Amino acid sequence: MSKEHEIIDSVEKLEKAITKVRKAQEEFSKFTEQEYLSIGNHEQYFYEEYYAYDPEYEQKIYTLSKIMSEAGFECIFFEDVVKE
């Protein structure tokens, strides 16, 4: 593959990713009126020795956090909202 084709391929992948993010933001916006939105993750996906390791997992968590922050959500711990 020539350098020109690699650049075009990269741009096309970036455009597809941007489209997916925008679509996700639209879907996500229906939750912005809720007082709480619970999201959990499995930290083992961060570790290379884990059989289902995802090298993009950190970026996925970061992107989700950024989208939520931009929508006005704040991070709180579950135990901070659970009333005994």
Q: How many domains does the chain have?
A: 2
Q: How far apart are CA 12 and CA 31, in angstroms?
A: 30
pLDDT on residue 3: 62
- Please indicate, yes or no, whether residues 75 and 44 belong to a single structural domain of this protein: yes
Domain of residue 47: give its range. Answer: 34-84
Q: Three-state SS string across 15-51, please? A: HHHHHHHHHHHHHHHHHCCCCCCCCCCCHHHHCCCCC
- Please indicate, yes or no, whether residues 42 and 21 belong to a single structural domain of this protein: no
Tens of pLDDT along the chain (84 residues) come to: 666 656 666 767 778 777 887 887 777 777 767 777 777 788 888 899 999 888 888 888 888 888 778 877 887 877 777 765
Q: How far apart are CA 27 and CA 47, in angstroms?
A: 30
- Please indicate, yes or no, whether residues 7 and 19 belong to a single structural domain of this protein: yes
The helix-helix angle for 57-70 and 3-28 (nearest 10°) equals 50
- Please indicate, yes or no, whether residues 39 and 78 belong to a single structural domain of this protein: yes
- Please indicate, yes or no, whether residues 52 and 78 belong to a single structural domain of this protein: yes
- Please indicate, yes or no, whether residues 60 and 26 belong to a single structural domain of this protein: no
